[in-house]
Amino acid sequence: MSETMSAREARGPHEVGGAEARPERRFEAVIGIECHVELKTRSKMFCGCPNEFGGEPNTNVCPVCLALPGALPVANTAAIEHMIRAGLAFNAEIPAFSKFDRKNYFYPDMPKDYQISQYDMPLTQGGVVRYWLDDGTMKECRLTRIHLEEDTGKSTHAGSGDGRIAGSTYSLVDFNRAGVPLMECVSEPEIHSAEEAVGYLESLRRTLQQIGVSDVKMEEGSLRCDANVSIRPVGSTELGTKTEIKNMNSFRSVHRAIESEIERQIAVIESGGRIVQETRGWDEVKGVTHSMRSKEQAHDYRYFPDPDLVPLEVSRAVVERIRAELPELPPARFVRYTTQYGLDVKQATQLIDNVALALYFDEVVNASGNAKQSTNFVLGDLSRLANETQTPVHASPVTPAHLAELIALVEGKTINSKIAKDLIERMWRGEGSPKAIVEREGLAQTSDPAAIEKFVDDVLAANEKSVGEYKAGKTNVIGFLVGQVMKASKGKADPQLVNALMKQKLES
Amino acid sequence: MELFERSAAEIARDVQGGTVSAADVTEAVLRHVHAVDGEIGAYLTVLDDVARAAATRVDERIKAGEKLPLAGVPLSVKDNMCLTGTRTTAGSKILEQWVAPYTATAVARMLDAGAIPIGKSNMDEFAMGSSCENSALGVTKNPYDLTRVPGGSTGGSAAAVAAFEAAIGMGSDTGGSIREPGAFCNLVGFKPTYGRVSRYGLIAFASSLDQIGPLTRTVEDAALAYEAMSGWDPMDSTSIDREVEPVSSHLRGDLSGLKIGIVKEFDTRALGDEIDELYDKAYHDLEALGAELIDVSLPTADYGLATYYLIAPAECSSNLARFDGVRYGLRVEGADVHDMYEKTRAAGFGPEVKRRILIGTYALSSGYYDAYYVRAQKARTLIADDFRKAFAQCDLIACPAASSPAFQFNAKSDPYSMYLMDYYTIPMSLAGLPALSVPCGWITPPGGDRPMPMGLQLTSPLFTEKLLLGAAHAYERATQHASKHKPAFDAVSGR
C-alpha cells in the first residue's frame, strides 16, 4: 500500500454522499478495489479440462482439478500470456521472473485445500487504470499488482430452505469452476467516491474485454469485486480504518454499496463511534452493508513457493510480441474521440463499448474526414437500422467507403439531408454506392435558381389562401409553402434556397 | 532355479524369446506370493486378476511381434502410486478404501514395457518412515530375518523383491526411502536424478524431493527398470525434458579411470569397528577395480537432516491438506464441516504423519517462515554447492547407505533415532542427485543370529545415471555380495 502517495493525490475537499452536497460534511472517502477476473482460455489453469461456464455439475473435472492423490498441476501458457496482455494494457511492469505459491487454508470447495496463487513475485507489478466520469473528467488509479491464481468450486447449501449456509444440513460442491484461471487485480486506495469506483470498474472491464482476456461478466461471475472503504477528515493524510465490502453483484450494487458504507461510516464517526476493521456484506434488498466477520479471525495462509511448478521465466520477446498485438485501448480512444473528434461523453462511451462499431466509425472518419457527420450517421441512422434489423452495422451492406461517399454528397450539397436519409435506408437494403444511385436516379439537389423560382411561383399561384394568411401576419405558413415546393421538386430542391426565395417573394 | 527367482533381465529375455510365457511366469509368482506373503507381508493388495490380464496382453503383444524390454517381469508397485481400478492407500487409513481412477505415468510406462503388476506393496504411511513400521495397514518383515524391519518407507517393495515376490519393486525416495530398504534387504535401490521419473500419479509426500526409482536384485535389472520408467512427462512440470541415455547395454566391468570421492565428514569409525571395516573393505574393492580414491569434503552435509526435516514436513503439511473427507477417502462425520475435517484427519492419519504436518505447519507459519523454511532452503543450496565442488574433484562419491543393518521391530521408538537412519541418504536427496545402494557385505548384528546385508551408497552428478549404474555394476560383478546368503523365509514357504 502506498498510503503517502494516495494522500498526496487526494483531490482536495470532496463532498461525499452523492449529488446533494451537504456542506457540513467534511469527510473524504478512500477506496481500494480488488477484482477477481476469470480468464478466457480453452482449458483450465493447471489441467486440460474445458474452461466453460455452466454445464452439469462435476462434468468438467479430472484428477488434477479434483485434487486426487498424486495429481500434479501444469501451468496454462495461454493464461500466462493473458496476464502479460493485461499487465501491458495497464502499463504495468512485467518482471522477467515470476513464480506460483501455495495459499494454504481449508475450504470444502477448494479441492487441494490450498490455492495456487502468486505471493511475492506476481506476473505483473504496478500499472495504472485510466478512467473517465460521466462529465468527461479523466482520472487515474494505480494498480498495486495483478496476479494469477485458480478459481475454486462452487458450494450450494441445502436443507435450510433458503440456500444460506446458516441452518443448512448439507452442502453440494460443483468443481466445474475449480481450477479456472483467475486474475486478481488489486488497486491502490486512490478512489474517492462511488462514482469513481464505478468509472474505474467500467474502464477495467472494457479494457480486459477488448484485449480478449476475459468475458468480464458480473452476472456469470467472471468479474467479481470487493471494495475496501474508509473515510477520513478532509485534509488528513492518514488512512482511516477500512472495511471490506463483499457480495456486490453489479456495478449498480457497487455504487449503492459504497455510498451506503460511506454514509454508515460517517454516521458512526459523527456519533462518536469507531470503525471496526471487518468484512461487510452488501444486502441488495435492504440497501445496507452488514457485518460478516472481523479481521481478528484472519488466516495465516502460510504461503510458500509451489514445489510442483517450476519458476516462470517471461521472455522479453513474448512480452514484445504481445505488446505489438494490443489494440487501441478504451481510455486512449475516449481521449481521441472527445478531444480530436468532438464527441460528447455519451457518444464516445457508446462507441467504445461497441468495438466493432468503433472500428467502423474510425474507418468512416478516415475516409470522409468529417467526424461530425460520421458520428451523426453511425450513431444515428445506422445504429437505429442496426437495432431494427438486429444486424450489427459492420456486418451490414453499408461499407465505410459508401458511407463516406454519402457524407461527401451531403457535404458538397449534392443531396440534402432528406435524400440522404432515404439513401441510407436504400444502402442498408444493399443498393450499393450512394453516388451511383444519385446519378442513376437524378437525385442531385437542385440549386439552379431559375428552376427553383419556377417551383416557387407555381406553389404561390396554387396557394393563394396561404399567401393571404402570411401577409396577414401568420408567417409560419411559410413552412407549409416550402414543403409544397420540396414535394413538387421531389425533394431535390435546396431547402435553404427555397426558403430564401419564398420569403423574398412573399414580402415583396 | 524357480521361474520366480529369475532376474528381470532373464525373465524378459525368455518371455521375449518365447521359451516361457508371461502367463506362466505370472502364475508361478502369484503361487509363490500366496505361499509366502502371509508371513512376509510385502503386499497390501495382491492383484491376481489384474496381473493375469496383463500377462495375457503381454503374451499377445509378443506374439504380434512387439519388443518389450520388461516382457512378463513381475512388478511390485509401492502403494503410493496410482494404478487404475486398484486400491491405492499410501499405507494410510485415510485412503484405506480409495480406488485410483487413473494410472501414474511411471507405472504406466513399466506396464507398457511389459511388466506385470503383481501387487501394491506396503509402505510407511505417506512414505514417512524408515522401517515400514509406520504403515497403518500392515506389518512387513525383512525376508532375511523375520524379526527385523525391511526398511522404509518402501519396505513392501523391498521385501517383495528380496523374497522373490517380484523382480522389480517400484519405490519412491524422498530422503532415502529406496536406498535404505535396498540396503536392508540385500537389493540394489536406485534413486534417479530428481526430475528423471515423472511424479504424476505418485501420492506426494514432499514434492521437491520425491523421486520414483526401482529396487532390484541386480544392477542390470535396475538399469532396465530405469530405462522403462524414466523420461519427460508433460503431466509433471518438474520432470526434465532431457534424453535418457541407454544404460543397460553399457554397463561397465571395471572402474579404471574413475575418481571416487570418500567423504571426510562421513567417518565410519563412529559406526563401530565391524561396520567401519566393512566400508573400508568396500572402498578398497573400488580401488582394486581401478578407481582412484580421493578425499572429498561435504562440510554442510551434517545439516542435511535438520534441513530435510523442515523442508519435507513443510511441503507435506500442504500436500496432505487435500485429505479432508470432502471428496474421497475416509470421512468421519462431524457437527459442521470443520468438525468433520478434524475428526476425519484425527482418525485417518497416524502419529508420524500428524507430527510432520504439525512441524511443517509451524515452519511455514507467519513469523517463523524466514527462520525455518527460508533458512532450510538456503542450507539446501549450500549442500548442493558442496556436492558440486566435490564433483569437481571426483566422478562419484562412495559412502554408507545406512548406519546399521536392518534393526528389530520397535527398536527405534523415538522419532529422532529413526530420522537418523537417513543421515547418509538425505544430502543427495536435497541436492537432487542420482544415488543408489548396492550390497557390500554382511554383518551379524549384536543379539542377532543371522547375517544381515549392508549397502554401499554411490552418488554422482546430476543426470549421470549411466556412469552411476555402470560403476555399481562393476562393483557388483566383482564382489558378488548379494548371493552370499539366502533369505530366511524357506521354512515359511516349505521349500
Per-residue pLDDT tens over the stretch B76-100: 999 999 999 999 999 999 999 999 9
Q: Residue B387: what pLDDT? A: 98
> What ipTM, to 2 d.p.?
0.96
Active-site residue, selected from the candidate residues B76, B121, B153, B404: B153
Counted residue by residue, chain A has a size of: 508
Q: Residue A23: what pLDDT? A: 46
What are the tens digits of pLDDT across the range A39-92? 999 999 999 999 998 889 999 999 999 999 999 999 999 999 999 999 999 999
A·B CB contacts under 8 A: 100
Q: Is the pLDDT of residue A486 over 60?
A: yes
Widest distance between CA atoms in chain B: 69
Q: Residue A299: what pLDDT? A: 80
Residue B432 sits at the vertex; the CA angle it makes with A77 and A65, to the nearest 5 degrees, is 35
Q: Assess whether B493 carries a catalytic annotation.
A: no
C-beta atoms of A114 and B315 within 8 A: no
Distance, CA of A141 to CA of A126 (rounded, Å): 10
- Domains within chain A, CATH numbers bracketed: 3-8+30-319 (no CATH), 354-441 (no CATH), 449-507 (1.10.10.410)
Q: Assess whether B177 carries a catalytic annotation.
A: yes
What are the tens digits of pLDDT across the range B461-490? 999 999 999 999 999 999 999 999 999 876
C-beta atoms of A75 and B237 within 8 A: yes
Q: Is the pLDDT of residue B409 over 50?
A: yes
Among B216, B251, B179, residue whose Cα is nearest residue B434: B179
C-beta atoms of B364 and A104 within 8 A: yes
Beta strands in A205-358 (DSSP E): 223-233, 243-248, 278-283, 288-294, 304-305, 312-313
Q: Is the pLDDT of residue B377 over 60?
A: yes
Q: Which residues contact B300 (CB under 8 A, 6 or more apart)?
A: B379, B382, B383, B385, B386
Query: Chain A contacts of B341, Cβ < 8 Å?
Result: 106
Residue of A nearest to B204 (CA): A70
Tell whether B321 is within 8 A of chain A (Cβ).
yes
Residue B323 sits at the vertex; the CA angle it makes with B322 and B328, to the nearest 5 degrees, is 105
What are the tens digits of pLDDT across the range A139-194? 999 999 999 999 999 999 887 777 777 778 888 999 999 999 999 999 999 999 99
Distance, CA of B424 to CA of B402 (rounded, Å): 6
Give SS3 for A211.
coil
Q: Is the pLDDT of residue A138 over 90?
A: yes
What are the tens digits of pLDDT across the range B434-449? 999 999 999 999 888 8
CB contact residues (below 8 A), chain B span 405-444, against chain A: none
What are the tens digits of pLDDT across the range A236-286? 999 999 999 999 999 999 999 999 999 999 999 999 999 999 999 999 999
Q: Residue A507: what pLDDT? A: 83
Cell of B151: 526398511
Could you tell me what percent of chain A has a pLDDT over 70? Answer: 94
The residue assigned the cell 412573399 is A506
Residue of A nearest to B335 (CA): A169
Q: Residue A19: what pLDDT? A: 44
Tell whether A133 is within 8 A of chain B (Cβ).
no
Find the CB nearest A113 among B80, B90, B324.
Answer: B324
Pairing of strands A170-174, A154-158: antiparallel
Distance, CA of B82 to CA of B45 (rounded, Å): 13
Q: What are phi and psi of A232, to 5 degrees?
A: -155, 155
Q: Residue A295: what pLDDT? A: 57
Give SS3 for B358.
helix
Tell whether A171 is within 8 A of chain B (Cβ).
yes
Average pLDDT over residues B211-230: 98
Residue of A nearest to B95 (CA): A69
Tell whether A436 is within 8 A of chain B (Cβ).
no
Among A294, A240, A225, A230, residue whose Cα is nearest residue A261: A230
Cell of B354: 500428524
pTM, full prediction: 0.90
Could you tell me what percent of chain B has a pLDDT over 70? Answer: 99
Tell whether B156 is within 8 A of chain A (Cβ).
no
C-beta atoms of B236 and A74 within 8 A: yes
Q: Residue A25: what pLDDT? A: 64
C-beta atoms of B82 and A70 within 8 A: yes
Structural contact between residues B210 and B160, judged by C-beta atoms closer than 8 angstroms: no
Least confidently predicted of A161-165, A188-192, A398-402, B277-281: A161-165
- Average pLDDT of chain B is 96
CA distances, B223 to each of A14, B113, B177 (Å): 76, 13, 18
- Average pLDDT of chain A is 90
Q: Assess whether B318 carries a catalytic annotation.
A: no
Of residues B167 and A453, more confidently modeled: B167
C-beta atoms of B235 and A72 within 8 A: yes
Pairing of strands A101-104, A304-305: antiparallel
Q: Residue B437: what pLDDT? A: 98
Tell whether domain B3-258+393-493 is in CATH 2.60.120.10: no
Active-site residue, selected from the candidate residues B7, B130, B177, B317: B177
Distance, CA of B111 to CA of B51 (rounded, Å): 10
Cell of A482: 416550402
For residue B172, the surrounding DSSP H or E stretch is strand B168-173
C-beta atoms of A69 and B203 within 8 A: yes
Cell of B82: 496410482
Among B109, B305, B128, B138, residue whose Cα is nearest residue B203: B128
Q: Which residues contact A119 (CB under 8 A, 6 or more apart)?
A: A101, A103, A303
Q: Which of B174, B241, B327 to mutate to test the interface with A (most CBs of A within 10 A)?
A: B327
Structural contact between residues A200 and A171, judged by C-beta atoms closer than 8 angstroms: no
The domain ranges of chain B are: 3-258+393-493
Q: Residue A18: what pLDDT? A: 47
